[in-house]
A and B are shown apart, each in its own frame.
Chain A
């Protein structure tokens, strides 16, 4: 069977609270970043993206912040709902070759 996986960092929040999920990326030359949501047994689902010429981008209930100085990305989810429970991955595009490389995920658990 599968090898034993690593334990993902877990964030547990109360329904209605705001969630902040953090990610450190590896390549200072990356110029495009994406947050994905992955529910159990499903493929990653696009949430929001940001280019390196921006430091903030807002979507519906979600905001992505980019700090290039410290190579840090965060995803903020407002008024977290039980349906937001999933694993969240940040991903970066290395601008040499355009490959989408995933960072370590965070498991978000929303308590009703």
Chain B
């Protein structure tokens, strides 16, 4: 059974703190993604990575950074958390081949982050 896991389901942090969200997948997928989900806004892509040490900005990268040191692990970093980063964060992975199901993204359970 394919699996994407995230380090925490719920997290409460203070403004200005550095926050690390971790995501691990066991499907040997090359592509990994970080989204945030807010009511009425759907899923918005923050960053994605198509290989180890590679990263690309998504639609809303400001205030975030990422790290991909190993194929199975993709970390999202909030350098200095702010209240407007309170959200649900979802990690996903997919295979690199469009013709072999690369359009199917597998999501983790999400981390609900509250910044106070």
Are A and B co-members of a single complex?
Answer: no
Chain A residues near B (Cβ < 8 Å): none
